[in-house]
Amino acid sequence: MSRSTPLRSLLVALALVGLCANLSLTARPAQAHLAKWGSWEITHRNLMRLFPDADPNAWRIKRYQFSNREVELLERELGFALYPEDRTPEFYVAHDRAGAFLGVAIFIDPRTKPKILDGSILTLEVGVGVDARGKINRMQVYDYRGDIRLTQPDFLGQIEGRGLDSEFRMGKDGLTPVAGEQEESQLVANAGHEALLLMKVALGR
């Protein structure tokens, strides 16, 4: 993938933003991992929901292998251990029909406490799109069978526009959780923060 000027702007923006304050040096059990779907058709559909203006035929996939040192850094900053598959993330690069760079997307699957709804385990899968400024452009929660408000713009819009130097804790700086889904609300916000960190380490070199 060639690095256009807008893409370099994203990399620079992510590189210049300092990492947030260190968390515990001992990583807790993994609390999230990267979401993947079984077909490109589903992945493509979910990508287009993150960047509706993207050329549907121009998506590029950038794969990355985190070094042991980078994994240690990420686990320290995130406060939990990465899954083995998270060491080789896939980033999806969006361009519009004129070839202009729009941003980068990633999918994250936060680990929730096991909950059963209608006889099956409740899952939470989050898509995060980051623009050339290194800010969250759009977030989506896919196929969630809990409170539908967790998937709506009124909730997700609170997180959009935030960067690594922003607050991601529910109840702080204008972030209001969905009533009755406080844990899930925080996990969605955490996914936005994690996406920014992964992009900074992998793309902001």
The reported pLDDT for the residue numbered 123 is 77
Mean pLDDT throughout 153-171?
96
Which residue, among 187, 181, 190, 141, has the nearest Cα to 162 in the 3D structure?
190
What's the pLDDT tens digit per position in 89-122?
999 999 999 999 999 999 998 866 656 666 666 6
Token representation of residue 156: 């997700």
Q: Which domain holds residue 20?
A: 5-203
Provide the CB-side half-sphere exposure for 60 (13 A, CA). 16
Structure tokens of 174?
Answer: 């204008």
pLDDT of residue 53 exceeding 60, the answer is yes
Residues contacting residue 14 through CB under 8 Å, at least 6 positions apart: 130, 134, 164, 196, 199, 200, 203, 204
Q: Which two tokens stand for residue 63?
A: 């794969």
**Whole-number Å distance between alpha carbons of 82 and 60:** 25
Provide the pLDDT for residue 15: 44
Provide the domain count of the chain: 1
